[in-house]
Each structure stands twice: as structure tokens, then as C-alpha cells.
Chain A
């Protein structure tokens, strides 16, 4: 119940494409869902985050879609660029336990010119 399941494990798109990464959770007490971006050899950094009171959040070319009833959320990258090539992690936690984020297994995205 503490898991966050992420798919796909890897994704290859061409420049301008719209990669979509999906995550699902079981624990209905989760109420914070961030996405992290990690470049090779670096630590992950927060990219965008959403609370379950909204169904969508957009920041630049990055959009989170959230489906509370299905307990799923996804990251969409519009007009993807080679510089977006990185590993993306979804995560979740809840006000019942603010001490730790539960991370998905990660998606390695490659955007070719």
C-alpha cells in the first residue's frame, strides 16, 4: 500500500513528441504528488508537484494530470527537447506521515533530435 508504481521503465521519443509517464498508488491518504527530474551523475531535483484538489497542473512544457478516483497521475512533456533527456521519478506522501516521500522506480527518457 506504500508503493507508487511507475511506467514505462524507459521511453524514446523524437524532438517535438509528447512523452507520457504514468504512476499509480494505492494509499488514499497520499495527498502530495511531486515529479523529480534527474540528469546522469546528479541528484534528482523537483520538477513539478500537484495536490489532489486539482485535476491538472501546468508549468511551462510540463503538465501533471491527476485522476483521484483511479488513483493515477501522469507527467506530460509538451514539445519535448533533447535537453529533457533524463530520468523522471514520481513520488507521493501524505499529511499522516510527512517524514518521507515514496518514490516510483523511475523512467529513463531519451529525446532524439
Chain B
């Protein structure tokens, strides 16, 4: 069976510090990978998605970047965090090329920038 791991679960970071959130998927190959941010009252905002190693699509301009160094690993980073980067970050995966495919989400990381 497939599983998705996302860590850490919670993180408190000072403004200006770097960020690295990691997500890994097990039990499948060639997944589509996604990073979403959920801010209070603003739903799920797609930040980045990737259809393969080294292939990253950015949905919104921001202070964050993403990388996919391995097929089942997706990393969200920032060089200098802003207060506005606080939120609930979710990693997800789906099977590539299927329209009616389910998106499987990780448990999320609650990031608080202070």
C-alpha cells in the first residue's frame, strides 16, 4: 500500500530563518507531487507541483521554493521566512495521467513564524 510521510508536524521558526519541509511517498512510482498551503479561511492554495524529478511548476509567486531530488521526495524550502509564511502546509501525491485520480494528503506541518 502507498503511504505519504511529511515532517515535522509542527514548527516554530523566527523571521529570517531558513525552512526545509520534507515529504516522501512509499509504495508507488512516478507520482505527481504537490505542496499546498492552508491559511485560515483561505482554503487550499496550490504552491508547487511536480510531475517528475527536477520538474517543478510554481503556481504563485512567493518566498518559497520546491525541489524534487528523487522520484518520491519533495522538499519545500525558504532562505528567509516571513511572518506571512505561517500556515498549515500539506504535501500530496496522485497517480500520473489519470483524470479521476485521488489526491492523497500527508498529515501536514503547522508552521508558525515568529
Contact = CB atoms under 8 A, between A and B. Distances in A.
B21 interface: no
Contact of A98 (B43, B98, B105, B110): B98
B43 A106 contact: yes
Interface stretch (B11-19, B44-52, B62-70): B44-52
Contacts of B108: 41-43
Interface stretch (A11-19, A58-66, A70-78, A88-96): A88-96
Given A31-B99, A43-B106, A99 B49 contact: yes
B44 to A, nearest CB: 4
Interface string A84-113: 000001010111001111111110000000
Contacts of A43: 90, 92, 105-108
Contacts, number: 61
A106 to B, nearest CB: 4
Contacts of B103: 36, 44, 46, 91, 101
B74 interface: no
A35 to B, nearest CB: 11
Contacts of A100: 32, 34, 46, 49
B91 to A, nearest CB: 8
Contact of A99 (B43, B51, B92, B107): B51
B43 A105 contact: yes
A94 B106 CA distance: 23
Interface residues of B, number: 27
B61 to A, nearest CB: 16
Contacts of B57: 99
B100 A32 contact: yes
Given A32-B99, A34-B102, A42-B107, 12 more contacts: A42-B108, A46-B102, A89-B43, A91-B103, A95-B99, A98-B96, A98-B99, A98-B101, A100-B32, A102-B46, A105-B43, A106-B44
A45 B102 CA distance: 9
B71 to A, nearest CB: 16
A9 B34 CA distance: 24
